[in-house]
Structure 1
Amino acid sequence: MTQMTRISTLDGSGEFDGYCATPQGRRPKAAIVVIQEIFGVNAGIRRKCDRLAEAGYLAIAPDLFWRLEPGIELGPDIEPQLQRAFSLMEQFDQDQGVRDIEATIKEARLRCDGGKVGAVGYCLGGRLAFMTAARTDVDASVGYYGVGIDNLLGESKAIAKPVMLHIPQEDHFVDKDAQARIHAGLDDHPKVVLHDYPGEDHGFATEMGARRSPASADLADRRTAAFFAEHLG
């Protein structure tokens, strides 16, 4: 079952929408917060939620751009929409975004009767998933092609719960030097596992569109599924 739901900010000063998918005819085994790309909670992100619900999880994708343009949905393969997405990303307050993710984790935990909550993010969401792991009580986090994580490595000391990062080696937003810094900073972290994808570019695991690389997307998603099964139950 899918529906839009309202989520209260941590300080109670406002509310924002989230797309919520729940398992059909059964109680969710855990919850997962799905963190958007720079394109909003579009059809691809909603499909990520739907697939997690099919696997038995309650999945919520918060509209993190709600303070800028509520309900926006953009496509990476349409140039004007891509440029609009870049503009929104430049205006977006990432620290506030993590607080809204934390509010979504709180809401998801209530909906699962206090059970475990994970997070998975893509692109901007991959970076936010890493920040979420360091700054919240989330139980497990996965980031796909997060940008700028090499500049956040100082936060890794605060990570106490499991984290998985998927790194395409030909990511045109994350060069080889940045990838090397990520490995140098995280390879020995007891809670972090990194997976590299040779020949793959940014966005390879999107649900639809020109960026998708099916074989690597399926491999990454299988690894994510196993990771959540282990750490969320």
Structure 2
Amino acid sequence: MGQRITLSVPDGSFAAYLATPDAANARGTAIVVIQEIFGINADMRETCDNFAREGFVAICPDLYWRQEPNVELTDKTEAEWKKALALYNAFDVDKGVADIDATIQAVRLQPGVTGGVGTVGYCLGGLLAYLTATRTGADAAVSYYGVGMDKHLDEASRIAKPLLMHIAEEDEFVPAEARAKIIEALEDSPHVEIHTYPGCQHAFARNDGVHYVADAAQEANARTLKFFQAMK
């Protein structure tokens, strides 16, 4: 279902995983899937494939390409965590958002994309999805347990398109104080819908993840699907 493609930006080029729906099932809309700290791994490819099965064109760009292209890690070993965290700590958020914006523009030109383009991100990608709602022309955005969002709440007034947020109530990477600040800053926005998941740790919706919680993941993913189905 998926294939590797190459996208170009002024300072270079990077890979992306592109999954396309069957013609009979195509909705005409697209979703940019934004990676966690582990790169374009099996989880991200499966996420793209699942969206394609639902009729969306789905694309996941390699946001680590300036540091190390084609990173593919899991959450299963200490060595992988160590490498993922090193990449995350060196990651340039502003350039990452610019690469996502370029991906949004590129996928609008893909065959069969005649409608809106949304973004969905997880962990690091959850922060970046929020920032696509404040900095890009994305038509909708979904943030799963975004890390570091509390440092960018001064941008919240720029949100003009629908933003759906999934917050884990026991997120070990987003302290309770930060979660409270995020909710307080965004809950009254007419464009933002927030859901919290009691008892869930970070990455409760990661496919085959260490902290996967089936009921919560299914609930969050159902909300996400319904949200994107409403995108025109």
How many percent of aligned residue pairs carry the same amino acid?
48
1:1-233 alignment, distance < 5 Å: 1-9=1-9, 11=10, 13-26=11-24, 27-111=26-110, 112-230=112-230, 232-233=231-232
Spell out, residue by residue over 1:14-54, the C-alpha distance to the aligned partner (whole angstroms, 9 max, x if none).
11100000002334420000000000000000000000000
1:178 match: secondary structure: helix
Distance verdict in 2 for CA 1:113–1:34, change over 3 Å: closer
1:110 match: secondary structure: coil
2:156 match: secondary structure: helix
Q: How large is the RMSD of aligned CA atoms in angstroms?
A: 1.1
Paired letter, 2:68 = E
CA drift at 1:179? 1.1
Contact 1:22 1:28 in 2 (8 A): no
Paired letter, 1:194 = I
Contact 2:203 2:209 in 1 (8 A): no
Paired letter, 1:116 = G
CA drift at 1:114? 4.8
2:107 match: secondary structure: helix
Paired letter, 2:33 = V
Instruction: Point out where structure 2 has 5 or more consecutive residues left out of the alignment.
Output: none
Normalised by the length of structure 2, the TM-score is: 0.96
Find the aligned partners of 1:143 and 1:88 in 2 and give their Cα distance. 20
Find the aligned partners of 1:133 and 1:127 in 2 and give their Cα distance. 10
CA drift at 1:210? 1.7
Query: For this pair of structures, how many residues does the alignment match?
Result: 230
Instruction: Point out where structure 1 has 5 or more consecutive residues left out of the alignment.
Output: none
Normalised by the length of structure 1, the TM-score is: 0.96
